[in-house]
Amino acid sequence: FMSIKRRQPGGDTPPQVEERFAALPGQPFSIEGADPGRDAALVGFALSWLPRQNLAIYARYDGTLGNNRTDHLVTVELKDAW
């Protein structure tokens, strides 16, 4: 499996959320995310290998490649059935 996508955000403002704790309802706080930039490429691929009937190995990569932000995520999974 392999995928390549282009992301183009709708606005120029970074993602922001305002929250409140239930114990302090009158005290809001804000969290602001990183500016994702104007364009970014979303790439990903996954591999699977079954060396034996009861053993499977999976690997996956997902990345966001942009002018203001670069993220990488690698996942490896080993399944052994006995």
Q: Give tens-digit pLDDT for 33-46.
A: 766 667 788 899 99
Beta pairing, strands 40-52 & 24-32: unpaired
Q: Does 57 have pLDDT greater than 80?
A: yes
Buried b / exposed e over 43-81, threshold 16 CB at 10 Å, is: eeeeeeeeeeeeeeeeeeeeebebeeeeeeeeeeeeeee
Contact 44, 3 (CB under 8 A): yes
Taking residues 25-40, what's their average pLDDT? 77
| Number of C-beta neighbours around residue 40 at 10 A | 21
